[in-house]
Amino acid sequence: MSWFEGPTLLHHLENVYIASDDNRIDTRFPVQYVIRPQRADTPDYRGYAGRVAGGMLRVGDDIMVLPSGLTSTITGIDSPDGAVEQAEPGQAITVLLKDDLSITRGDMLCRPNNRPRTSQELEAMLCWMDDAAHCNSTRFYTVKQTTKLARGKVSSVLYRLDISNLHRETGVNELKFNEIGRVTLHTTSPLFLTITTRTALPDHLSLLTNHQDKQSLLACCSHRDLDRQFRQMTKSNNPNKPSEAIWHEPGVTRARRWNKHGLVAQRSG
């Protein structure tokens, strides 16, 4: 590629700045495990273990448990290095609460005044990655969001994305291996959905299935309202447009790049 004058891929991966991806505003703590040692020295110990997905957790903070809506106060935070006063995104910790609440794996701790929406109906962009079966409305799947598992069904396929030109193909009723499209999804229990333009929040989903005694990853989804909120906030006439959202024109224009090398669809999640 004689036209490309940028760094190599490995150089970029080794030097790219990723600390800004941490979301320290929207507190999200998916509960992975409930710890009850029941030893003589800790008869009343009840901790909730997991990884901080977003925001900050501090001793003394008020929290809300989803989906129950129960509230309590953080009385302690245990880390692998001992007790700490606060925890940041990415840290694996155990949270101790003032009240003895009914909390299980898959529940989420958040701020009472900054909590995600709970919904059983959503639209999602989906990349199908199962070569054994197609995506359609005749099958049920296991929907995984962080530590939460729920049964779900693809209600309908809204459109399929043609990766050669990014056109939307309507009138389709299924997605095949490696195809990308927008679908409507219904789950048997509520999922936690955050409407924000900030990154590193647990809003992505995975669809799992079991066939021939083998569990396969089928899809990675992103919630519809995230895309809608992003479009609203990035309109030039919107007073809530983030000041840090600045477009940098690359040295190689999009038209020139497409004309020479076509398009590449990137899958992440």
Q: Is the dihedral of CA 227, 228, 230, 231 positive or negative?
A: positive
Give the confidence band of 256 by pLDDT, cuts at 50, 70, 90. Answer: low
Reduced to 3 states (helix: H, G, I; strand: E, B; else coil), residue 109 is strand
State the CATH number of the domain containing residue 211: 2.40.30.10
3-state SS assignment for residue 247 = coil
Domain end position, chosen among 59, 91, 110: 110
CA–CA distance, 118 with 99 (Å, rounded to integer): 23
How many domains does one find in the chain? 2
**Is the pTM for the entire model greater than 0.85?**
no
Cα distances (angstroms) measured from residue 225 to each of 75, 119, 122, 212, 228: 34, 11, 8, 35, 5
Residue 160 domain flag: yes
35-44 contact pairs (CB < 8 A, 24+) = 35/94
CB burial of residue 35 (10 Å; 0-12, 13-18, 19+): middle
Residue 177: inside a domain: yes
* Assigned token pair, 223: 């919630």
Structure confidence by residue, pLDDT tens digits, 93-105:
999 999 999 999 9
Tell me: do 173 and 104 sit in the same domain.
no
CB 125, CB 222: distance < 8 Å: yes
Count of C-beta atoms within a 10 Å radius of residue 99: 11
Joined tokens for residue 96: 């101790």
The two three-digit tokens of residue 166, written as one number: 């990014």
Q: How far apart are CA 256 and CA 123, in angstroms?
A: 33
Question: 113-161, pLDDT tens digit by residue?
Answer: 998 888 888 888 888 888 878 888 888 888 888 888 889 898 899 999 9
- pLDDT for the residue numbered 225: 43
Look at residue 262 and tell me if it is in a domain: no
HSE value, Cβ hemisphere, 13 Å, CA-based, for 27: 18
Residues 148 and 70 in one domain: no
Task: Determine the structural domain holding residue 220 and report its residue range.
Answer: 117-233
Tell me which of 110, 134, 168 is where a domain ends: 110
Is a pLDDT exceeding 50 seen at residue 213? no
pLDDT in tens, 62-106: 999 999 999 999 999 999 999 999 999 989 999 999 999 999 999
- Give me the residues paired with residue 126 across strands: 181, 221
